[in-house]
Amino acid sequence: MSGGTGDRPGLVSAVGLGLVGPGGPAPAEAARRGHAELRALAEEAGRELADAPALEIARWAAGTFGDRFCVTSSMADGVLAHLVSRVAPGVDVVFLDTGLHFPETLRVRDEVARTLPVNVRSIRPRLTVGQQDGQYGPRLFNKAPDDCCGLRKVEPLERALAGYDAWAAGLRRDESPTRANTAVVTFDARRGKVKVNPIAAWRQADVDAYVARWNVPVNELLRQGYGSIGCWPCTRRTKAGEDPRAGRWAMFEKTECGLHG
């Protein structure tokens, strides 16, 4: 298991990195940092934490950024929210509520909010689906999915992240060729923030083991043949041998929604 599920002692301590003080995690109200400092932090941590266990990576992020750090989740499962809540109880978990999610996904969102020590923030697009239909025509996702994702995911994420210096996502290298080089800590130059991918090195078996050990909420659709779950118009079941994300925007060349590019 490369990187580990975070249940063994960490390889690298945040204090050892020189990135947080010896007194422990940052105070709840973390200081604001400029882009140059954030970039330097990301580059140093990216090197030092490259092979660290997931929990150690999450601990570094929570300790370094305090309340200016959040988790994002698609609610395919509650793994990342659970993992980070172990080192940062009360952490904000951002969920992009596009208005086009499967009911199963909303159930995971609600279960995560109810059962984990986290603060789930559901962020909605500026336009309802009906308003979008009125302005851009119905089923924009079929005609121009990049525009639809821009309106319903990308802009809401920019808005949601405005108050943070760092955000965590559940990207994994084994999900698709486009994610094969995902770093555990990087500088998101487009947004001027540190991006943390604590479980980048995990494989599906690691996720399954974590879910079983901690009884973490999981989207029922994963048991019904969906390898990856997004909005219902753009998600289909995956076939045997396909990458987990092959069922996303399967009718288009599109492979990412623009959140992680």
Q: Which of 148, 149, 231, 257 is catalytic?
A: 257
Structure tokens given for 23? 């007194």
| Min CB(72)–ligand SF4 separation in Å | 15
| Min CB(121)–ligand SF4 separation in Å | 18
196 close to 249: Cβ distance less than 8 angstroms: no
| Min CB(238)–ligand SF4 separation in Å | 16
Identity of the residue, 59 or 101, whose beta carbon is nearer to ligand SF4 in the bound complex: 101
91 close to 70: Cβ distance less than 8 angstroms: yes
Identity of the residue, 183 or 246, whose beta carbon is nearer to ligand SF4 in the bound complex: 246
Contact partners, residue 200, CB within 8 Å, separation at least 6: 3, 171, 172, 173, 182, 183, 184
CA distances from 21 to 11, 13, 28, 89, 247 (A): 18, 11, 14, 20, 45
Identity of the residue, 86 or 236, whose beta carbon is nearer to ligand SF4 in the bound complex: 236
Asked if 234 is an active-site residue, the reply is: no
* Chain residue at closest Cβ approach to ligand SF4: 231
Site for ligand SF4, rule CB under 6 A: 98, 100, 141, 145, 148-149, 152-153, 230-231, 233-234, 257
185 close to 195: Cβ distance less than 8 angstroms: yes
Identity of the residue, 39 or 152, whose beta carbon is nearer to ligand SF4 in the bound complex: 152
Identity of the residue, 152 or 172, whose beta carbon is nearer to ligand SF4 in the bound complex: 152
Element (H, E) at 185: strand 185-188
CA distances from 159 to 86, 169, 193 (A): 26, 16, 13
Angle (CA) 56 57 61, round 5°: 115
Burial class (CB in 10 A: 0-12, 13-18, 19+), 60: buried
| Min CB(15)–ligand SF4 separation in Å | 41
| Min CB(190)–ligand SF4 separation in Å | 18
| Min CB(100)–ligand SF4 separation in Å | 4
Identity of the residue, 101 or 172, whose beta carbon is nearer to ligand SF4 in the bound complex: 101
Burial class (CB in 10 A: 0-12, 13-18, 19+), 79: buried
CA distances from 85 to 111, 170, 221, 242 (A): 14, 14, 24, 32
- What is the set of active-site residues? 257
